[in-house]
Structures are given as structure tokens and as C-alpha cells.
Amino acid sequence: MKTRSTQQLVPHTVDGKTRMVPINVDAPAPPRDWDHIVLNGVTTIAAVVLTASVVWSTASIGDLLARAVIEPAAYGAAVVFDLAWIACMAVEWLARYDEDRAALPRKAGNVALLVAMLAIGAHGKVSGFWEVGIVGALVSGLAKGLWTVVLRHQTPPLDERTRAWIRAELADAGASLSLIPVRRKVQRAQAQVDAERIALGAGSDRGSANPDRSGDSADDSDAEILQLHPNAPTTKDAVRIAWDSGIRDDAEAARYVAKVTGKAPSPDTVARYMRLLRNGVAS
């Protein structure tokens, strides 16, 4: 029996403390998975055929287009013909669990392949070798057909109820994902509304203030106590509102904070809060 060295966790106690430590042990080697080996071989062959198809079609279509434009532009456009149906085939593979969504990239891929084959055939006709054009066009068709077989083999068969369940799950996930930009837009708009409301409220309070405090009594026990305004924003809150409103300049943010809070903030403090917001670490 073939064996292979592998690691296994075993308990080991030192000074009364037990830990799981790895040790090397010889374990029976599993039998070869020939199905997987064959699938890897077929996938490698399909990749080689696809590469050859892209090279051939690019050279053929590029030579055809080079009769009218410069070669770099001609060959750059020629590679698009194969890349189009290859990209459609990749999207079809990504949608393999939803037959309805996979139908569109499959049809688009077939159309792109047909266009590429016609272009290769046209090159053969223009060059005077129509047989070469037909055979060259079949190279792209064989590459597409081989990859279709490989991808179909790896696509798990699903019944209609399972497909419906998957579509419902994707719909729920898509709904949650679509709400992210909506919430951001609502929060941005709400921040602007709050900033405007606070600014107007702060201006009203300053207009009604009594700066000379002539009505205060010298014997008033509360004369030296700083009056608290629970609704007034802090410098940090004002910087956050300015940031949510789209202000990114430190000096402009400082002017906004002074307008909202009614006092000139420390430029260093405003710059520090703005730097934290730029780095995404402010709470």
C-alpha cells in the first residue's frame, strides 16, 4: 500500500499544560482521481486550442483590416473579434446556475463567433484562398464548441425549484446591495439639512444674545457658570457635518465650524479631524 507523509495534531503536555502539536505520520495515500486528471487534461487542451484560435483569427482578420488601415490599429481591432465571444462565454459560465440569465450571453457569444468566422472567411476570399478562409473560420468554431462542452460538463444540473430558490436568494442579496448607495444618498442629504438647520439656529441664538450682559447681577451665583447648550454641535460634530456636506478643504471646514459653533476653532484640531475622516478612521 502506498503511503504519504502528513501532519496530525496530537495532545502534548508540558509542565501540566496541554497543547495540540503537529507531528509527521505516514498515512495511506488516496487512490488517483482519474476523473479529475482527465478533466484537467481536457481543460488544458481547450486552453491550447483557444490560444491557437485567437492567434489565427487575429493574424487573419488583422491582415484583412491592414489593407485599409495601419497595422497596429488593424491587429488591435482584429483581436476584439475573438475576445468578444470569449468574454460572453465567461459570463455564460458565471451565470451557469441561472439558465435565464445565461441565455443572453450565450446568444451574444454565438453572434460574436459568427461575425469572427465571417471575417476570417472574407480574408480567405480576398487573399484568393477561399479554402483557407473556410478552414480558418472552423478553427474559431471548434474552439468555441470545445469550451462549450467543457463548461457544460462542469455545470451542475439543477431542477426548476432549485433554480427558483437561487433566483430568490440572488434577488434578496441584490436588493440589500442596491440599498447601500441609496442610504448613502439619504444620509448625505440629511447631513446637509442638519447642517443648514444648525447654522440657522446658531445664527438666531447669536442674534438674540445679550453681549454686554447688563441685566446680569454681580451677586448672581450663576454669573461665573458657563451656560450649556446641549443642542449646539461640538467641533468634531461640525467637522463631520462639513465633511458629509462635501467640504474637503481644511480652511473651508474651519470657517464652517466657526459659523456653526459660534467660535473660532483651533486650525490644528480641525485639520486633525479632517485627516482622520480622509483616512476613514474617524468615528
In this predicted structure, what is the pLDDT of residue 232? 62
On whether residue 221 sits in a domain, the answer given is no
Query: Locate cell 478553427: which residue?
Result: 139
* Same domain membership, residue 101 and residue 125: yes
On whether residue 85 sits in a domain, the answer given is yes
In this predicted structure, what is the pLDDT of residue 230? 52
Domain count, the chain: 3
On whether residue 248 sits in a domain, the answer given is yes
Residue 190's domain spans which residues?
A: 178-202+230-283
Rounded to two decimals, what is the model's pTM?
0.57
* Same domain membership, residue 123 and residue 194: no
Q: What is the pLDDT of residues 62-93, one digit of tens each?
A: 999 998 899 999 999 999 999 999 999 999 99
In this predicted structure, what is the pLDDT of residue 228? 45
- Find all residues with CB under 8 Å of 47, minimum gap 6, and list them: none
* Same domain membership, residue 93 and residue 58: yes
Distances, alpha carbon 255 to alpha carbons 116, 163, 201, 246, 247, in Å: 62, 57, 17, 14, 11
* Same domain membership, residue 197 and residue 103: no
Give every residue of the chain whose pLDDT is below 70, as ranges.
1, 201-232, 281-283
